């Protein structure tokens, strides 16, 4: 029996402000992007199903938060990122990309218009320093100030059909009109945010997520994190909320067809190859990577597709995709889908084989398994009000 061994780090791993809570809950930990984070508390499958059927609580404090303030904050982000952020309405969020000059993806990000002339950029833990360095390098000529708030903020996600009810049941988490600006948990739209009052401070509450379910992400001062985490766990008990680790987060996001940096996204991949062409706004006067994006990738550059297989053996990252005896692609993520009951995977394949319904083979450790190209996402929750 072989097991993954944790890689050795030169620098010590960072710990979440919630680390002791996770230990008390019996979490197993994994090294992730320089942080030691919970991989599971009891069972990957129990945690996965809890998010699909009820609610799950995630500590994602390893995510990086960078504030961008100043008179030119919007114009700066229009130049530094692939999207148009200057017109983002106050308290709305947008998914965006940070590109390099060659049009490759340095990171995928969520950007919030968090206040007047103020944005909050949320980056992946493993890319925190690359994002900060790129933003600093691109700020010349703009009146902006950048601040890395990662260690001051904790980030807690509540995901699942019962997420809203769980938040509403937290006694001391209060709507206050000066913070929420007329929004309520019921009226807060998808990819929108508001402030709520919590024990004398405010919590930035966003209706976003990475699981394919309705859900909320709560940005809170690191000192307040334990208090809020415990209150959410207590309030959620009646709704079937369980703490969830990164293993469940990975199967949930895969079912939802959401790309993961280092798997579906990277510096050698242009957005259009990953199905993210719509995220790039090319009719801006200038942005980093513009010339390369306009030239586009080579016509035969591989494109991201979904694959569905039968049985229980899942294609895994780096397995080869075949058409006859020709290698036509490579798997980027794969798992036996807990919700669907059969294996699913994402893969980069030659464009000739991208059409849904195309049947290819995957080499699963020496055995060929037939895989059908399918549209993404694999799983989509039923529309709710």
Partner 1 sequence: MSVPNDLQYTAEHEWVRLDGDIATIGITQYAADALGDVVYVDLPKIGATLTTGSIVGEVESTKSVGELYAPLDGEVVEANEAVAAAPETINADPYGDGWLVKIRVTGEHALLSADDYRALIGG
Sites of contact with partner 1 (CB under 8 A): 1-4, 28, 39-40, 43-45, 48, 247, 250-251, 312-314, 316, 335-336, 338, 365
Beta-bridge partners for 64: 123
* 336, two tokens: 């036996």
Residue closer to partner 1 by CB (options 21, 255) is 255
Least distance to partner 1 from the beta carbon of 338, Å? 7
Least distance to partner 1 from the beta carbon of 250, Å? 7
Residue closer to partner 1 by CB (options 58, 198) is 58
* 47, two tokens: 């945690």
Least distance to partner 1 from the beta carbon of 315, Å? 11
Residue closer to partner 1 by CB (options 36, 208) is 36
Separation between Cα atoms, residue 145 and residue 122, nearest integer Å:
16
Separation between Cα atoms, residue 338 and residue 336, nearest integer Å:
6
Beta-bridge partners for 372: 308, 359
Separation between Cα atoms, residue 18 and residue 20, nearest integer Å:
6
Q: What is the dihedral of CA 219, 264, 268, 284, to 10 degrees?
A: -60
Least distance to partner 1 from the beta carbon of 147, Å? 35
Half-sphere exposure of residue 131, counting CA atoms within 13 Å on the CB side? Answer: 32
Least distance to partner 1 from the beta carbon of 251, Å? 6
Q: Which uninterrupted H or E stretch holds 179?
A: helix 177-180
Residue closer to partner 1 by CB (options 173, 331) is 331
Least distance to partner 1 from the beta carbon of 244, Å? 13
Residue closer to partner 1 by CB (options 185, 344) is 344
- The DSSP line for 299-318 is TT--EEEEEEESSSPPP-TT
Residue closer to partner 1 by CB (options 55, 247) is 247
Least distance to partner 1 from the beta carbon of 276, Å? 26
Count H helices and E strands in the chain, helices first.
9, 21
Query: Taking a C-beta distance cutoff of 8 angstroms, is the pair 338, 269 a contact?
Result: no
Residue closer to partner 1 by CB (options 107, 250) is 250
């Amino acid at each position: 029996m072989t097991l993954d061994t944790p890689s050795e780090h030169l620098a010590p791993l960072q710990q979440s402000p919630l680390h002791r809570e996770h230990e008390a809950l019996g979490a197993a930990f994994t090294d992730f992007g320089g942080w030691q984070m919970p991989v599971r508390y009891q069972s990957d499958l129990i945690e996965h199903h809890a998010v699909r059927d009820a609610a799950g609580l995630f500590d994602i404090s390893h995510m990086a938060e960078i504030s961008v303030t100043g008179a030119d904050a919007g114009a700066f982000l229009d130049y530094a990122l692939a999207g148009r952020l200057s017109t983002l309405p106050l308290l709305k969020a947008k998914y965006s990309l940070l590109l390099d000059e060659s049009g490759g993806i340095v990171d995928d990000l969520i950007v919030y218009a968090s206040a007047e002339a103020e944005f909050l950029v949320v980056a992946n833990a493993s890319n925190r320093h690359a994002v900060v360095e790129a933003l600093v390098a691109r700020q010349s000529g703009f009146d902006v100030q950048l601040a890395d708030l990662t260690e001051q903020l904790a980030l807690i996600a509540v995901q699942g059909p019962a997420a809203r009810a769980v938040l509403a049941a937290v006694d001391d988490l209060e709507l206050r009109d000066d913070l929420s600006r007329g929004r309520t948990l019921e009226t807060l739209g998808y990819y929108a945010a508001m402030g709520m009052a919590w024990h004398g401070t405010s919590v930035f509450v966003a209706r976003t997520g990475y699981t394919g379910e309705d859900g909320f992400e709560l940005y809170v001062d690191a000192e307040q994190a334990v208090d809020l985490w415990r209150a959410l766990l207590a309030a959620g008990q009646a709704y079937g909320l369980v703490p969830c680790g990164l293993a469940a987060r990975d199967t949930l996001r895969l079912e939802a067809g959401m790309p993961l940096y280092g798997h579906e996204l990277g510096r050698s991949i242009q957005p259009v190859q990953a199905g993210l062409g719509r995220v790039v706004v090319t009719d801006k006067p200038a942005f980093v990577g513009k010339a390369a994006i306009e030239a586009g990738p080579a016509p035969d550059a591989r494109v991201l597709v979904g694959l569905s297989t039968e049985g229980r053996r899942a294609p895994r990252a780096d397995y080869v995709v075949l058409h006859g005896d020709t290698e036509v692609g490579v798997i980027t993520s794969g798992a036996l889908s807990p919700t669907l009951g059969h294996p699913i995977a994402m893969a980069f394949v030659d464009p000739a084989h991208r059409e849904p319904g195309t049947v290819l083979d995957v080499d699963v450790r020496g055995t060929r398994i037939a895989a059908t190209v399918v549209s993404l996402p694999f799983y989509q929750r039923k529309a709710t009000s």
